Amino acid sequence: AIRSQDALDKPTQELVAKLFQIALFGALFVMLLQVLGLDLTALAIFGGALGVGLGFGLQQIASNFISGMILLVERSIHIGNFIELEDGRSGVLKELNMRSATLETFDGKEIMVPNEKFITNTFVNWTRDDPRQRYEVEFSVAYDTDIEKVPDLIIAAVSAHPKVLDDPELPDCELRGFGESSIRFAVEFWIEGIDDGKNRISSEVLFIIWRTLKANGIAIPFPQREVRLVGNTLPVPEIRLQETAKSESRKKDKRDK
């Protein structure tokens, strides 16, 4: 009956059901002892000693159980949240039990995380209160580009993406610096949720940037090197001819000797 209550979410239903079961079995056990006529005082002393011994052995399990209760009461994480652990692993919260939580990664793997980790360690809940996330994609243009028109072109193109939001901020394109072979830009934009991971959204935006630059005749450069010869008075071809002539002359002198 408890698990069928729509007013409670599934993890809370499980918590209430477990606590009810523990209380029920405990009451039945005490009643059974009374029916059998056993001395509850002696049993209490024995149970206390046994409890101390088990307490040391089950300390970790008890810690995870209590941590699970705290998580369910505080509601710091919910089913469907995208969570990043302290060690860098991340995934969507699929299940929260009394002992552990299950995160599902983008490649389908399941990570079993003891509840204690969410109490004692730092973690990031990317979608707890606000599912909107900001992403950034970098790109470069050639040095002969009229860079004044690049931001407006990219902002208009990225804003047309159906998943890009205009709140809390519209997309923004910024000049980031001057590289060896290109001028570096970055476009920032907001989307709702994590979906299939930021690489998927970034890929779609990069395609948009590529098509926009190509349509406006803006080149994406490849690495270039400019070589200058300093201290030579003769053009390069003449130097090579002169060196070749000297080499042939030396070979001829050796043959004559």
Which structural domains are found in the chain, ordered by start?
Answer: 2-57 (no CATH), 130-257 (3.30.70.100)
Distance CA 70, CA 190 (A): 33
**More confident site: 87 or 228:** 87
Confidence of residue 230 (pLDDT cuts 50, 70, 90): confident
Integer angstrom CA distances of residue 73 from 60, 214, 227? 20, 54, 68
Q: What distance in Å separates the CA atoms of residue 176 and residue 256, rounded to the nearest whole number?
A: 66
Q: Say what the pLDDT of residue 103 is.
A: 94
Q: pLDDT per residue over 159-216, tens digit each?
A: 999 999 998 899 999 999 998 889 999 999 999 877 666 567 888 999 999 999 999 9
Which tokens sit at 51? 């409890």
CA distance 88 to 118: 14
* pLDDT of res. 152: 96
**Percentage above 90 pLDDT, the chain:** 35
Q: What is the dihedral of CA 107, 112, 115, 117, to 10 degrees?
A: -70
